[in-house]
Amino acid sequence: MERLDKILSNYGGLTRSDAKQALKAGRVKVNGAVIKDPAVKAAETDEVTLDGKQLVLSKYRYFMLNKPAGYISSTEPEPGDMSPNVISLFKNEGVKGLFPVGRLDKDTTGLLIVTNDGEIGHRLTAPGKHVDKTYVAKVKGELNDSAVEAFAAGFEFKEFTSAPAVLEIIETGLDSDGGECAVAKVTIHEGKFHQVKRMFQKVGCEVAELKRISMGALNLDETLKPGEYRELKPEELKNIMP
Ligand code: URA
């Protein structure tokens, strides 16, 4: 049980004094009833709303973000790169300590889990805890059955050999310059630096666009536009808990 002014500042992103004002103004309800006293306590199981929006009374928060292109997910950006960080998209949540689980390149879009639960972040990305990740890639160059076989056989890189990956060619064609191009789905087992781009390079293709669509049992909610996010549903969270 926590006091309502504390709940509003911890989970509603308000300062303590804004929380008191909000209560006084009748903007806060507990289980449907307007409460104005900041000292009233509520439990995690209570429904606390601020301006009609329910607050999530949990210390740990788990979000699914459809990462937009142009945002960095690394905490150590390239020197001189002033691009915004994905965490800036969560500024209205008022949650401290959010970080992305794993990384996507600046130009990669799609599924990124963002949380303040260091334990789950660590467990999902720790070496040896490989979660399959599926991407849709638009590539320049020719993709054919020998590429499918090469992905399945694995590639030798400087620092590792890739585990068998599943490449599914969805479409092939010609781009506006008359060059070969293709759309493919690829599922990889590790998550090394630029891994998908490097795998396509091995078969003579260049990735023009890359989007992550799933991580383990978690699929990107396609109703989320780039830059939008939502809380993970309890069953989604259960499915990704290592
Ligand atoms: N592989 C890449 O090359 N880039 C990403 O962002 C993710 C996987």
In the chain, % of residues over pLDDT 90: 77
Q: Does ligand 1 come within 6 angstroms of the Cβ of 61?
A: no
Let me know whether 68 and 117 are in one domain: yes
Q: Does ligand 1 come within 6 angstroms of the Cβ of 105?
A: yes
- Residue 95 Cα to ligand 1 midpoint, Å, equals 27
Give the per-residue pLDDT at 140: 97
Is residue 95 within 8 Å of 208, Cβ to Cβ? no
Residue closest by Cα to atom 3 of ligand 1: 194
From 107, 130, 194, mutation site for ligand 1 pocket: most ligand atoms within 8 A of C-beta:
194
Give the containing element (helix H, strand E) for 110.
strand 109-115
Dihedral sign from CA coordinates of 152, 131, 230, 197: negative
Let me know whether 232 and 169 are in one domain: no
Q: Among 4-18, 138-152, 189-203, 213-227, where is mean pLDDT lowest?
A: 4-18
175 is known as an active-site residue: no
Is residue 71 within 8 Å of 85, Cβ to Cβ? yes
Let me know whether 120 and 222 are in one domain: yes
Give the per-residue pLDDT at 123: 81
Of 46, 105, 132, 221, catalytic: 105
Range(s) of the domain holding residue 160: 132-215
Q: Domain of 158: which CATH number?
A: 3.30.70.1560
Give the phi and the psi of residue 86 in degrees, each rounded to 5. -55, -30
Q: 90-113 as b/e, with b when 16 or more CB fall inside 10 Å?
A: beebebeebbbbbbbbbebbbbbb
Question: Of ligand 1's atoms, which has the minimum distance to the CA of residue 212?
Answer: 7
Q: Please compute the mean of the pLDDT values over residues 168-188 and round it to a whole number.
A: 96
Give the per-residue pLDDT at 12: 85
Q: Does ligand 1 come within 6 angstroms of the Cβ of 134?
A: no
Q: Domain of 48: which CATH number?
A: 3.10.290.10
Domain count, the chain: 3
Let me know whether 119 and 235 are in one domain: yes
Q: Does ligand 1 come within 6 angstroms of the Cβ of 108?
A: yes
Give the per-residue pLDDT at 75: 74
pLDDT in tens, 83-114: 999 999 999 887 889 999 999 999 999 999 99
pTM for the complete prediction? 0.84
Residues in Cβ contact with 6 at an 8 Å cutoff, skipping those fewer than 6 apart: 16, 19
Give the per-residue pLDDT at 242: 64
Q: Does ligand 1 come within 6 angstroms of the Cβ of 210?
A: yes
Let me know whether 124 and 223 are in one domain: yes
Q: Please compute the mean of the pLDDT values over residues 146-162 and round it to a whole number.
A: 96
Structure tokens, 18:
């804004």
Structure tokens, 208:
């023009």
Let me know whether 96 and 22 are in one domain: no
Give the per-residue pLDDT at 125: 81
Structure tokens, 79:
């020197």
- Residue 194 Cα to ligand 1 midpoint, Å, equals 4
The C-alpha atoms of residue 216 and residue 4 are separated, in whole angstroms, by: 38
Q: Does ligand 1 come within 6 angstroms of the Cβ of 104?
A: yes
pLDDT in tens, 54-84: 998 888 999 999 999 999 998 777 788 889 9
Residue-by-residue DSSP string for 129-162: ----EEEEEEEES---HHHHHHHHH--B-SS-BP
The C-alpha atoms of residue 130 and residue 61 are separated, in whole angstroms, by: 22
- Residue 178 Cα to ligand 1 midpoint, Å, equals 26
Let me know whether 211 and 138 are in one domain: yes
pLDDT in tens, 190-234: 989 999 999 999 999 999 999 999 999 999 999 999 999 999 998
